[in-house]
Amino acid sequence: RHGTSPAPDVLDQYLPERGGVFPLSWKKVPLTNVHVSAASALVKKRYDPEFTVDGSCLLPLHPLAEKHHQRASLVQSGSISFSASYRTVFYTPEAGGPLHGFVEDDQALMLKLHLAEPLPGIAGDRRLTDSIIDRCVSVSSILQDALRNEEMASDLVIVPEEFGITDNDAGVLVRILPRRSLVPLFSVYSADRSEPDEEPLIAELLRRRFGSNRDDAAEALGDLFARPLIRSVVAGFRAGFSLEMHAQNTLVSLDDDKLIDKVWFRDIEGVLLFNDLRLQRNLAPLLEDVDFLSELQPTIPASRYFNRNVDHDLGRVFAGVLRSLGACRFFNRNHCRLAEKAIRRVVRQAISEGE
């Protein structure tokens, strides 16, 4: 119910808060024309039958891409609702359709879909290429392994991207999420566009936890809100990875006591690898023999990306939280200053701990 980013009129119907549910169209593609990427042979064996019908592969189409295909050549199966990212949708299979019965009752399917054209008013390339799905599937598995024994990753969960398929004008990456309340980070502090005078969620959480004690609430924002987020970013770099943890890629599960229970990172496409960092920490280099290494391993120093992840990605989140709490008058100026000091202290501590 809390706000998302503004959208051009053509996309307004797909805003998550509209609650729209749309049929999903699929196109049939000869099996010889598709590129498949799977985390393992076992994963491929599980997924392949789900997308194969009468000797062809079924590929899902984003609703904005349907106009490029002959309607008679498409089949409809299942329904979708939109996440905060316009090419990422929640998919509900229909009986006998692709991925029906594939996940447990406590799981949900999320599909990242190919878009050949730029979205109106929104910058960025949203195509899914063979190289992108290979990179996402490979890095997803390796990143989870790399963080498994990292102490600073105790609050972090990587949403796996186990399987992907592409052809020349369609593609899909499959994610499996727990069927539980996960909130995009920006929705924690953004106002509801339909109810702009309503308090943001972060104010509700702090009130439940601290009542009318605003000083304690301000001091606690460092430990209860900033700490799990900055530790997750630092954990990534300790393992040699830059995690693009901006407010859309990052989901959180909330808790009345801890505020943030877990941090869920859901988009592997922006992850970068720094093997020089791994070597500095006596860790073996990764993915040195893959074709997409140049896309995964930038020439710009890791410190530049670390500063971006902290100052730009998380810095904008922290600034947004304080601005939101001030705008709704939950915090006054003194409370905002207290909270900013607490956040800065925790960020410095986490960085020092990670060195």
User: At what angle are helices 315-327 and 333-354 packed, to 10 degrees?
Assistant: 160
In this predicted structure, what is the pLDDT of residue 221?
97
pLDDT at 290 over 70: yes
- Please answer whether residues 74 and 66 qualify as being in contact, where contact means their C-beta atoms are separated by less than 8 angstroms: yes
In this predicted model, what pLDDT tens digit does every residue of 150-169 receive, in sequence order? 999 999 999 999 899 999 88
pLDDT at 234 over 70: yes
C-beta atoms surrounding 166 within 10 Å: 25
Question: What residue type is assigned to position 298 of the chain?
Answer: P
In this predicted structure, what is the pLDDT of residue 3?
43
In this predicted structure, what is the pLDDT of residue 179?
84
Q: Which residues pair with 179 in a beta bridge?
A: none
Q: Closest Cα partner for 25 from 67, 51, 62?
A: 62
pLDDT, mean over the chain: 90
pLDDT at 10 over 60: no
pLDDT at 143 over 50: yes
Phi-psi region of 265 (alpha: psi -120 to 50; beta: other; left: phi over 0): beta
Beta-carbon contacts of 85 under 8 Å, excluding residues fewer than 6 positions away, are: 112, 248, 267
Mean per-residue pLDDT, 328-345: 97
- Please answer whether residues 160 and 167 qualify as being in contact, where contact means their C-beta atoms are separated by less than 8 angstroms: no
